[in-house]
Amino acid sequence: MNAINFVIGGLMMAALALPAVAHADGGVDASVSEAIATAATALKPNTFVWNDPGTAEAVTVVVSLPQQRAYVYRGTALVAATAVSTGRDDKATPPGIYPILQKAEKHRSNLYDAAMPYMQRLTWDGIALHAGRNPGFPASHGCVRLPAAFAQKLFEVTALGSTVVVTDEDVQPGVLDTELTRTDAQRANEAQLASLN
């Protein structure tokens, strides 16, 4: 049996005992994804659930601005969720689909002279995922702040080019909605191709 762990202020407490997280085919057990999705609805600031089997499937991160949550998927299976703090009204976090452009375990903002541990850059003009104060509501200058232990775990499983989706919609976290990862240009091209047939 594996345990899904809640982390609160750096203290880890076992929350749920679950069957093995990986199938023989390398996929993630659906019951684990369901348990993480359920636990994600009750997360308080600076808390998260994490149960990533570390399979070879690609990692995708989805950040829901209205929910102040980030969800981590292996392939289409949910493996982690956390409370976040995104940009406040005057410095909103822009919705979009981003590749991770740069990673730095120790980084300092040259705009705000602030530490940004486990920084993963999404834009060249200052939007990133990083460890930081996480009060449970939008409070940053546009970045997505994560609990420190979660930021470290996420830093370890992502790569340059990993997809991060920031959406202004609520997310149903059980299974990755692949429509979230498709750009307007992709949809327009598909519509054009379909009209040719």
| Residue 125: C-alpha distances to residues 94, 96, 98, 111, 171 (Å) | 11, 14, 13, 10, 26
Predicted TM-score (pTM) of this structure:
0.84
Q: Give pLDDT tens digits for 85-135.
A: 999 989 999 999 999 999 998 866 666 667 779 999 999 998 999 999 999
Decide if 173 contacts 81 (C-beta within 8 A). Answer: yes
Q: Which CATH architecture has domain 2-191?
A: Beta Barrel (2.40)
pLDDT given for residue 27 in this prediction:
61
pLDDT given for residue 16 in this prediction:
41
Q: 140: Cβ–Cβ under 8 A, 6 or more apart, which residues?
A: 85, 86, 87, 88, 91, 93, 132
- The average confidence (pLDDT) of the chain is 84
Cα-only R_g, the chain: 17
Domain layout of the chain by residue ranges: 2-191
Name the 3-class secondary structure at 186: helix
pLDDT given for residue 126 in this prediction:
87
Q: Which residue type does 148 have?
A: A
Q: How many CB atoms lie within 10 A of CB 41?
A: 10
User: Is residue 72 predicted with pLDDT exceeding 60?
Assistant: yes
